[in-house]
Amino acid sequence: MNYQIKYQQWCENANTDAATKAELQSIAENDQEIKERFFCDLAFGTGGLRGVIGAGTNRINKYMIRKTTKGYAEYIKKAGADACARGVVIAHDNRRFSVEFAEETAGVLAANGIKAYLFDSLRPTPELSFAVRELNAFGGVVITASHNPPEYNGYKLYDERGCQLVPDVNDKVVEEISKIEDPLSVKSLTKAEAGDLIVLLDSSVDETYYKTVMGVALQPDIDKSKIKIVYSPQHGTGNVPVRTVLDRLGYQVIPVEEQCVPDTEFSKTLNPNPETAEAYVLALEYAKRTNADIVITTDPDCDRLGVAVKHKGDYVRMTGNQSAAVLLEYILAQRKVQGTLPANGVMFNTIVTSDLGDRICEDYGVSVEKTLTGFKFIGDKIYQHELAGDKTFVFGYEESYGCLINDCVRDKDAVQAAMMLCESAAYYNSKGMTLIDALENLYAKYGFFLDALDNFTFKGLDGAQKITSLVNGLRNDPPKKVGDIEVLEMEDYASQKMMDAGFPNSDVLRFIMKDGSWVAVRPSGTEPKCKFYFCIVAPTRAEADEKLQNMRAVFEKNC
């Protein structure tokens, strides 16, 4: 349908609320803006919905939330009466319209005879995963756009295992969503109209979650008196759970007060993404004033953890690969000492995660399995081995600052990660070491690993075409050498070969070098970006830096 026709339908439909009509009228003379908003429907992709808030089919708003939820409801109803009765747990973060979108989700489910469990205020994404399992629900929804800018929001779906939907299930939900032609006509009930079909959750789920996370501690009685921690939740959902768990375990936590307020505009942080230096600016001011040992920060939906460590008088930020490698070494070493490391242990990471963790696992006799990017694949791997009874989960992580320690959750969990990182910092402190010292010990043992991620953003109507052209150019004419280093192999995850190896079809390329380094190229599933991941292996930092620059020159020349 022509975008102008869809625009007029939204303007004239009796179901369109007054505020939406006013917003649409304000762009009546701007054809390009109308086209951007209505040339397509906001896609439900591999990571769910994520988009700019606003009126239109290519924006996230209550009508597109209703349409998506209606499609999800049809999928649930096909699963039977028991699925409807078990219901869906719904959580939300601190973003614009997150409360309203969560209530709309519950209202549409109720209108379709499906029970909805609704948290009474913002909650972290990992607790949503935990709650689905704890309540034996059929699924879950979390309203969040993670660390995106304030103008974004999103919608993620979880299955009965507390895992984000894997592709075959996701495709079935998308098929149902695509049948909903008119988002303006989807019915949503208020809480009063829904009656017993909408259940407001009390604090009992919170308490069970906190106790479970605290039970993950390997040395709960370790001396915490000499470790001082600055923490920022980046205005998001981590404030209460992270501080509650750390406080109950006896850690000295100094909160970044300005960033503990659940602010929709993220007004006191330069960037809520722990992957960026801007996220740490205010927290580092606190750290320097208080002489803190570490700074930790969680992203707004509290599934990712970042850390900066005081080392030799300065604060050094660790990448997600680095902090996870240190955590992995600490966990495996302690479990070996305690006699709890399983003989059939398995660690999961992704094809774009540094290989340092793989080397650590080799030393402890823990097997490693790779997945595509997206923690749902790790969650699904955990489930498959549960069914088979052949391997025991010990750790899972992605390079993007997300890890999982205990599989009571089936998504990355920054509450668990924060607790364990503080414990490991206290442990190394007792040995006269910092977390950076622990990392340097790993480099001394396994070689230097340099990881880097470059993002190239391509917005607007031409953005997707540019990304496709970029990836296909590398696919069809792959580099043969980088400097004097031979490219041994190109792994194309859209090829039959990789699908036969057990990977879902995915538009990802990975180039393996003769020296063990690699680069992966992946269009983002939730943002208009093309991402380049580098894992450089070298004897020294200087040599790794040189290799990285050479790789960038070869692989990013058309960006």
Predicted pLDDT of residue 465: 83
Place of tokens 């028991």: 82
Residue 400 pLDDT:
93
User: Could you give the percent of the chain with pLDDT greater than 70?
Assistant: 99
Average pLDDT over residues 87-114: 98
Residue 85 predicted with pLDDT over 90? yes
pLDDT at 529: 87
Q: Active site residue: 98, 129, 146, 323, which one?
A: 146
Can you give the pLDDT at residue 459?
A: 78
The one-character DSSP state at 53 is B
Mean pLDDT calculated for residue range 182-186 = 97
**Whole-number pLDDT of residue 464:** 79
Nearest CA to 518 out of 556, 476, 547 is that of 547
**Lowest-confidence range among 416-430, 434-448, 470-484?**
470-484
pLDDT score of 404 more than 90? yes
Rounded to an integer, what distance in angstroms lies between the CA atom of residue 486 and that of residue 448?
20
Say yes or no to pLDDT of 46 above 90. no
Q: Which residue has the tokens 């296909």?
A: 472
Mean pLDDT of 304-324: 98
DSSP code at position 505 = P
Judged against a pLDDT cut of 70, whether residue 281 lies above it is answered with: yes
pLDDT at position 395 is: 98
User: Are 225-320 and 323-446 the same fold in CATH?
Assistant: yes
Whether the Cβ atoms of residue 330 and residue 322 lie closer than 8 Å to each other: no
For domain 40-202, give its CATH number from 3.40.50.300, 3.50.50.60, 3.40.120.10, 3.10.20.90: 3.40.120.10
- For residue 255, the tally of other CB atoms under 10 A from its CB is 17
Instruction: Report, as an integer, the average pLDDT of 149-164.
Output: 97
pTM for the whole structure: 0.95
Buried b (16+ CB within 10 A) or exposed e, 416-432: bbbbbbbbbbbbbbeee
pLDDT of 551 over the 90 cut? yes
Question: In the chain, what are the domain boundaries?
Answer: 40-202, 225-320, 323-446, 448-555
Confidence check: pLDDT of 525 > 70:
no
Residue with tokens 């000492």: 337
Amino acid at 309: V
Looking at the structure, give the CATH architecture of the domain made up of residues 225-320.
Answer: 3-Layer(aba) Sandwich (3.40)
Q: What is the mean pLDDT of residues 535-549?
A: 95
pLDDT of residue 461: 64
Q: What is the pLDDT of residues 356-395, one digit of tens each?
A: 999 999 999 999 999 999 999 999 999 999 999 999 999 9
- The CATH number for 448-555, chosen from 3.40.50.2000, 3.30.310.50, 6.10.140.120, 3.40.1410.10, is 3.30.310.50
Q: Which of 92-106, 202-216, 528-542 has the lowest mean pLDDT?
A: 528-542
Q: Which of the residue ranges 101-105, 248-252, 553-557 would you say has the lowest mean pLDDT? A: 553-557
Q: What is the mean pLDDT of residues 539-547?
A: 94
pLDDT of residue 460: 67
Mean pLDDT of the chain: 96
Q: Residue 110 pLDDT > 90, yes or no?
A: yes
User: pLDDT category, 426, cuts 50, 70, 90?
Assistant: very high
**Tokens 């034996």 -> residue:** 136
Establish whether 146 is a catalytic residue: yes
Mean pLDDT of 131-151: 96
pLDDT of residue 15: 97
| Residue 526: pLDDT over 80 | no
Average pLDDT over residues 285-307: 98
Residue 330 backbone phi and psi in degrees, to 5: -60, -45
CATH class given for the domain over 323-446: alpha beta
